[in-house]
Structure 1
Amino acid sequence: MLNLVTNERARFFGQQRATLRALGVDETTLTVPGDHTYDNGSTNERSVIDYLEFLPRVVRRSFGGFDIVHANYGLTAPHALAQVRLPVVLSLWGTDLMGRFGPVVKACARHADAVVVMSRRMAEELDQPCHVIPHGVDLDLFEPMPTGDARAELGWGADASHVLFPYPPGRGVKDYPRAERVVERVRDRIDDEVVFHTVNGEPHERMPLYMNAADVLLLTSRREGSPNAVKEALACNLPVVATDVGDVPERLDGVSHSRVARSDAELVDGVVAALRAGERSNGRGAAEEVSAEETGARLLGVYEEVLS
């Protein structure tokens, strides 16, 4: 399989590659040239020239004995479709379909042999037959551990309440200012000390420590496809309070001490309730249906269906 992607370093893409390899898929990945890294939370966008230079590379490489092309993220769809020899699977991640390039992405999706989206909400936006398969979570890495041990390793206070915002403050779509406002209002209603934590530059392997040390995860994103932080929190039994984006309502359905909110007041109420409960959630069971193995097997099924 020939993988096309805009950001090879995206951790959920790396997880997907590893899972498919374990399932016997032989893959090669091509990445759009140019810089696309987060620097203190900001995004460096590629130029049109970078995408134009990528086109002949993809066409040439498609003659390398592959069976299928998988375009990951909508902006790689034109490149995948430019080669006419191999079937194309297109995966949409959320911001590609819902953002400013949405019309282009939708037009390309109509010509793909199969389309994968992260949530039912994305499927409704796309308005064509597609497969709903969110990125999976590594349940061996993200698992419950004693809260006290996690706090001790991170140096967090044992007696305070801890709210986790698992992104750098500069990621605009995540809306850090809104999260900060919510936590300020939470402090007015909670007697204990409430500490607000962001995460910047930490290796992915350390994220389970944060998920197990915190009392609640707060997500205030303006838009999402299927936020991995929510699924990782579920795997660690961390309560989640989140805006109504992507597949969050599906993921939090039936999860204790967790809430989907549509206003600042509802976000505040949700965080206060989670802190006052002082308990972990039952999210681990909900996370099992989006394990890396489960979602990888479903994606492999899409490949087999297209090739048949």
Structure 2
Amino acid sequence: MHVLILTTNEDAPFMNQQLAALERLGVSFTVRSVPGETGPGRSRSPLEYLKFFPTVVRESRNGYDLIHAHYGLTAPMALAQFRQPVVLSLWGTDVYGPGEPISRFCAPFCEEVVVMSAEMGRTLGRDCTVIPDGVNVAQFYPIPQAEARERVGWNEEGYDVLFPYSPDREVKNHPRARRVVRAVEEQIGAPVRLRTVYGVDHDEVVHYMNAADALLLTSESEGSPNSVKEAMACNVPVVAVDVGDVADRLDGVSPSTVATSDRDLIAGLRDILERGERSNGREAAAEISVERTAARMLETYERAVARKS
């Protein structure tokens, strides 16, 4: 099977891990990304998206079996051609953010719509295939904490809580994470540092995960946050708000906490830090390994092709 991939971010690690796993299953790809650059305070203009339409229409004539549109804003381009079936993968912010109307409008015209959690499907108000992004358990694995702390230079006394996002990403709610960590520090009377880590090579993230005493997720919305699954694969305890599929992923994982209030987040983080134990998350993470989720995506491709034929 030969697939044309449309994306707004050709460097997205979770997408590229999925493509690599699908290639091992015999699928070949051509990737085309929307032109223009993004970054802090910089978004693509409508003109840049419009320029992508003729590129996709021309490329779609090159013998593909289907088109896989990653992220809702690429769906209109995928649907602009009428030959190949379309699989649309929604990432989260294209359901809960400003791009939601485009995702909602385009979804009924796609042969298959893939979401990361059942909650995303309910928000869209339609049946979807739920396939969370898989975690690469060969890349994320337990490392002795002392070894990882030495690697990343975290040598101070006290506790380190990982927040693996830029503070500028408002949806991740860095102020709430900072507030929770400060409250825990006041209660236990020992240094508790919120380690805000972003922009590092993805291969290095495993060391930051293992160096941490816990991962803290305070996002306003999520689909299926990769950081939670990566922490699970490293047996790092997770304290998270109840967003996306977090409660499902952490079901049976101990120690971990899923909460809705600051009070419960603070209590959960304090308990985990004082216990000083690693979790049993790796066993649960195996259920959503990238190999297993890639196999499910291949089944989705086959259904899409059958529906179009």
TM range (shorter): over 0.9
Match of 1:26 in 2: 28
Say which SS state the counterpart of residue 189 (structure 1) adopts: helix
Contact 1:7 1:36 in 2 (8 A): no
Q: Output the TM-score relative to the length of structure 2.
A: 0.96
Between the aligned partners of 2:288 and 2:79, the Cα distance in structure 1 is: 29
Between the aligned partners of 1:104 and 1:230, the Cα distance in structure 2 is: 28
- For the pair 1:12 / 2:14, whether they are aligned, the reply is yes
Q: Output the TM-score relative to the length of structure 1.
A: 0.96
Task: Kindly report which structure 2 residues correspond to 1:47-66, keeping only aligned pairs within 5 A, or say none.
Answer: 47-66=45-64
Aligned-residue offset at 1:155: 1.6
- For the pair 1:260 / 2:258, whether they are aligned, the reply is yes
Shift >6 Å, 4+ stretches: none
Tell me: CA distance 1:148–1:169, structure 2 relative to 1, closer, same or farther (3 Å).
same
Deviations 1:94-126 (A, max 9, x none): 110111221221110001000100001011112
Match of 1:288 in 2: 286
Gaps of 5+ in 2: none
Deviations 1:126-184 (A, max 9, x none): 22221100111110010001111111111212642111111122121111111111111
Between the aligned partners of 1:181 and 1:26, the Cα distance in structure 2 is: 46
Deviations 1:244-276 (A, max 9, x none): 111111111111121111111111111101101
Contact 1:148 1:158 in 2 (8 A): no
Between the aligned partners of 2:159 and 2:101, the Cα distance in structure 1 is: 44
Between the aligned partners of 1:18 and 1:158, the Cα distance in structure 2 is: 39
Q: Which amino acid aligns with 1:165?
A: F
Deviations 1:48-81 (A, max 9, x none): 0001000011001000010100000000001101
Between the aligned partners of 1:297 and 1:34, the Cα distance in structure 2 is: 32
Tell me: CA distance 1:264–1:173, structure 2 relative to 1, closer, same or farther (3 Å).
same
Say which SS state the counterpart of residue 135 (structure 2) adopts: coil
Aligned-residue offset at 1:23: 1.4
Q: CA RMSD in A?
A: 1.1
Between the aligned partners of 2:270 and 2:166, the Cα distance in structure 1 is: 23
Match of 2:230 in 1: 232
Tell me: CA distance 1:247–1:4, structure 2 relative to 1, closer, same or farther (3 Å).
same
Equivalent in 202, 221, 224 of residue 223 of structure 1: 221
Contact 1:151 1:158 in 2 (8 A): no
Gaps of 5+ in 1: none
Q: Which amino acid aligns with 2:139?
A: L
Q: Matched residue pairs, number?
A: 304
Say which SS state the counterpart of residue 260 (structure 1) adopts: strand
Q: Which amino acid aligns with 1:179?
A: A
Q: Percent identity?
A: 54
Between the aligned partners of 1:200 and 1:93, the Cα distance in structure 2 is: 19
Match of 1:213 in 2: 211
